[in-house]
C-alpha cells in the first residue's frame, strides 16, 4: 500500500518491510515464493526465466511454484469478495490527502478482514489485535533510497537456494511416486 496502481510490483516490493527488513524477518533457511518480477535471493525464491525455464526439471519446478502462487491469488480474491470496494476503489486521488485516505481505507479493510477471519476460526488473540492497530497507525517515514542502497541482492545466494528447493521438491516427489 502507498504506491499508485501504475507502480511496478518489483518497485513496490523494494519499499516493503519484507524486503527492507529481510535479514530480521527470515531465519536462515526461511524463504517466500515470488514471481519472476522479483529479485532472486536466498529468502525470495522466483521461477526460472528463459532460457533456463526450458529445461524439463526447471519447468517442473516452475509448475509447482505456480500452484502455490495461485493460492496466493485466491487469497486476494477472498478479501476482495468480502470488501467489494477493494475491487476498484472509487475515489478520485488528486493530492496527498486523497492518497492517504485511500491507503487508510485499504488498511481498514485488511484489519477488519483479518479480525473476522481470526474470530471465525477461534483464533482471536488480544496481543495480535493490538499489534494490528499499532501497525495501522502512522509510522515515521524513512528514507527508502538510503535503505535500498544499503540492501545488496546477491543473485548467487538466491540461485543456490532455488536449486536446493528444486532438489528437495524432486526428492519429495520421487518419494511420493514410490508409495
Q: Kindly report, residue by residue over 113-123, the tens digit of the pLDDT.
A: 888 888 788 77
- Can you give the pLDDT at residue 177? 73
pLDDT of residue 154: 45
Q: How many domains does the chain have?
A: 1
Question: Residue 167: inside a domain, yes or no?
Answer: yes
Q: Please, which pLDDT band fits residue 59 given cuts at 50, 70 and 90? A: very high
Percent of the chain with pLDDT over 70: 84
DSSP assigned state of 16: S
Cα 64 vs. chain centroid, distance in angstroms? Answer: 17
Q: If you average pLDDT over every residue of the chain, what do you get?
A: 81
For residue 111, pLDDT over 80 is answered with yes
Q: What is the pLDDT of residue 129?
A: 64
- 76 is a domain residue: yes
Query: pTM score > 0.85 for this model?
Result: no
Domain extent at residue 107: 9-178
* Contact indicator for 41, 25 with CB cutoff of 8 Å: no
Do β-strands 32-33 and 44-45 pair in parallel, antiparallel, or remain unpaired?
Answer: parallel
**What residues contact 155, with CB distance under 8 A and at least 6 apart?**
39, 40, 41
| Residue 86 included in any domain | yes
Residue 152 lies in a domain: yes
Amino acid at each position: 500500500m502507498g504506491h499508485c496502481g501504475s507502480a511496478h510490483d518489483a518497485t513496490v516490493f523494494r519499499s516493503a518491510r519484507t524486503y527492507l527488513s529481510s535479514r530480521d524477518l527470515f531465519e536462515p533457511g526461511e524463504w517466500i515464493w515470488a514471481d519472476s518480477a522479483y529479485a532472486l535471493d536466498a529468502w525470495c525464491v522466483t521461477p526460472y526465466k528463459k532460457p533456463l525455464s526450458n529445461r524439463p526439471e526447471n519447468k517442473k519446478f516452475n509448475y509447482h511454484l505456480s500452484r502455490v502462487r495461485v493460492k496466493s491469488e485466491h487469497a486476494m480474491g477472498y478479501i476482495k469478495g468480502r470488501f467489494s470496494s477493494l475491487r476498484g476503489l472509487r475515489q478520485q486521488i488528486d493530492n496527498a490527502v486523497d492518497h492517504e485516505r485511500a491507503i487508510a481505507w485499504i488498511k481498514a479493510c485488511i484489519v477488519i478482514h483479518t479480525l473476522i477471519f481470526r474470530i471465525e476460526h477461534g483464533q482471536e488473540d488480544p496481543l495480535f489485535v493490538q499489534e494490528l492497530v499499532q501497525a495501522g497507525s502512522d509510522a515515521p517515514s524513512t528514507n527508502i533510497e538510503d535503505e535500498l542502497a544499503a540492501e545488496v541482492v546477491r543473485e548467487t545466494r538466491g540461485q543456490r537456494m532455488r536449486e536446493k528447493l528444486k532438489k528437495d521438491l524432486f526428492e519429495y516427489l520421487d518419494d511420493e511416486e514410490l508409495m
